[in-house]
């Protein structure tokens, strides 16, 4: 790869050090990386790289959509400055959420962006920090323009990847499409803008479970949500005979809250028309999220609701589209 790669460090385990209350984000990762590169041979050849810490560094458990803005703006600034690629170092707990969010807002960018992290801090013997750090720099050579996720020697689609292990090397896994043929349609063009809103929309996630209390959904709506990711059973069913729960969904529809159903199952997605219990959800305004992951659905709703030039009906239609590889069609 010609040109310099820019590394954006947001925090996370990869640069943490042990403190009085456990591991916490710390400065100095760039110095450790330079020293390691100078003493190692496995990491060559590598592109030239520069480094920027996005202060304040955070544990990714504290990541919010407001932090996405900071990362997106930093990536775009790197592109304007002439970077040939960008690597974002991020904590693993919410890495898949940020990867999906960056994919939507950077879908128009004309350079490869890789987001990665590690399960062990840099300096831990036999850990994964340096393989992921330097592996990402090498992977930029084969990465497509836009955002990809790199972990454990594997380049993965940022909108189709989830964290599946809390410990171990292979912590992330790409989720297959419900219909494998959509791989050829992973860059469907839609009339949307990548301009960031002044304030991020307010999106919630509501998981269903046997005996779910409708008052919990009502209380979420009371907070002024703009959209809800509804995590349904199986192929998209819910407590259709629970009148209070259905009333809460009707309230969401009437108040213009976009409710998108996804499946709690790891693969397959939802098909709301399959069962009566799913069709009833459709009847009160719930929209299918197809085979989107929770992370992709959550990020996409932020992106869709930020489209100020679209009507409510047009925003709902965009949910059905495959914007950047997040869902089957």
* Residues in Cβ contact with 38 at an 8 Å cutoff, skipping those fewer than 6 apart: none
For position 292, what pLDDT does the model report?
Answer: 97
Reported for 206-213, long-range contacts at CB under 8 A and 24+ positions apart, including other chains, are 206/230, 206/231, 207/231, 207/264, 208/232, 208/233, 208/238, 208/239, 208/264, 212/239, 212/242, 212/245
Domain membership flag for residue 118 = yes
Claim to verify: residue 240 and residue 280 sit in the same structural domain: yes
For position 1, what pLDDT does the model report?
Answer: 55
Domain membership flag for residue 109 = yes
Claim to verify: residue 28 and residue 147 sit in the same structural domain: yes
Claim to verify: residue 159 and residue 277 sit in the same structural domain: no
Select from 218, 230, 206 the least CA-distant residue to 292. Answer: 230
Select from 220, 193, 192 the least CA-distant residue to 206. Answer: 220
Domain membership flag for residue 276 = yes
Residues 275-290 have pLDDT tens digits of 999 999 999 999 999 9
Claim to verify: residue 146 and residue 232 sit in the same structural domain: no
Domain membership flag for residue 238 = yes
The catalytic position among 10, 92, 159, 293 is 92
**Annotated catalytic, 193?**
no
Which residue, of 122, 153, 174, is where some domain finishes?
174
CB 329 within 8 A of CB 317: no
What CATH number does the domain containing 255 carry? 3.40.50.40
Select from 126, 108, 120, 36 the least CA-distant residue to 72. Answer: 108
179 burial (CB, 10 Å; 0-12 / 13-18 / 19+) is middle
For position 103, what pLDDT does the model report?
Answer: 98
Claim to verify: residue 36 and residue 170 sit in the same structural domain: yes
Claim to verify: residue 273 and residue 224 sit in the same structural domain: yes
Select from 89, 69, 168 the least CA-distant residue to 127. Answer: 168
State the total domains in the chain: 2
Packed helices 214-222 and 243-254: angle between N→C axes, nearest 10 degrees: 20
Residues 194-212 have pLDDT tens digits of 999 999 999 999 999 999 9
Domain membership flag for residue 56 = yes
For position 274, what pLDDT does the model report?
Answer: 94
The catalytic position among 10, 13, 159, 293 is 13
Total length of the chain: 329
Claim to verify: residue 63 and residue 170 sit in the same structural domain: yes
Which residue, of 157, 174, 191, is where some domain finishes?
174
Domain membership flag for residue 79 = yes
Residues 2-56 have pLDDT tens digits of 579 999 999 999 999 998 999 999 999 999 999 999 988 766 689 999 999 999 9
For position 242, what pLDDT does the model report?
Answer: 97
Claim to verify: residue 88 and residue 143 sit in the same structural domain: yes
Claim to verify: residue 112 and residue 213 sit in the same structural domain: no
Domain membership flag for residue 248 = yes
Domain membership flag for residue 235 = yes
What CATH number does the domain containing 140 carry? 3.40.50.1170
**Annotated catalytic, 92?**
yes
**pLDDT < 70 stretches in the chain:** 1-2, 42-44, 180-190
CB 74 within 8 A of CB 106: no
Claim to verify: residue 89 and residue 231 sit in the same structural domain: no
Claim to verify: residue 67 and residue 145 sit in the same structural domain: yes
For position 186, what pLDDT does the model report?
Answer: 45
Claim to verify: residue 123 and residue 225 sit in the same structural domain: no
Domain that holds residue 18: 5-174
Please give the Cα distance from 146 to 17 (Å, whole number).
31
316 burial (CB, 10 Å; 0-12 / 13-18 / 19+) is middle
């Amino acid at each position: 790869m010609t040109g310099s790669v820019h590394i954006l460090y947001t925090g996370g385990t990869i640069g943490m050090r042990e403190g009085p209350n456990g591991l916490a984000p710390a400065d100095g990762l760039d110095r450790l990386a330079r020293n390691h590169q100078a003493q190692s041979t496995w990491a060559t050849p590598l592109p030239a790289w520069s480094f920027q810490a996005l202060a304040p560094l955070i544990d990714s458990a504290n990541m919010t959509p407001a932090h996405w803005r900071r990362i997106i703006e930093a990536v775009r600034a790197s592109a304007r400055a002439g970077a040939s690629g960008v690597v974002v170092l991020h904590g693993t707990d919410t890495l898949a959420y940020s990867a999906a969010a960056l994919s939507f807002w950077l879908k128009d960018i004309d350079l490869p962006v890789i987001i990665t992290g590690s399960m062990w801090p840099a300096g831990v013997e036999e850990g994964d920090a340096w393989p992921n750090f330097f592996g990402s720099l090498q992977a930029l050579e084969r990465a497509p323009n836009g955002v990809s996720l790199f972990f454990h020697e594997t380049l993965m689609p940022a909108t189709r990847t989830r964290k599946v292990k809390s410990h171990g090397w292979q912590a992330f896994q790409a989720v297959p499409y419900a219909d494998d043929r959509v791989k050829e349609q992973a860059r469907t063009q839609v009339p949307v803008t990548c301009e960031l809103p002044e304030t991020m929309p307010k999106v919630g996630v509501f998981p269903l479970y046997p005996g779910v209390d409708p008052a919990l959904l009502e209380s979420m709506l009371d907070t002024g949500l703009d959209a809800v990711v509804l995590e349904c059973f199986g192929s998209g069913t819910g407590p259709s005979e629970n009148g209070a729960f259905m009333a809460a969904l009707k309230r969401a529809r009437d108040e213009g809250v976009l409710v998108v159903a996804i499946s709690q199952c790891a693969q397959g997605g939802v098909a709301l028309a399959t069962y009566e219990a799913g069709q009833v959800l459709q009847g009160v305004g719930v929209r299918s999220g197809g085979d989107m992951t929770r992370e992709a659905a959550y990020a996409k709703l932020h992106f869709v609701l930020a489209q100020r030039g679209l009507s409510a009906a047009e925003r709902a239609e965009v949910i059905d589209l495959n914007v950047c590889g997040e869902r089957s069609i």
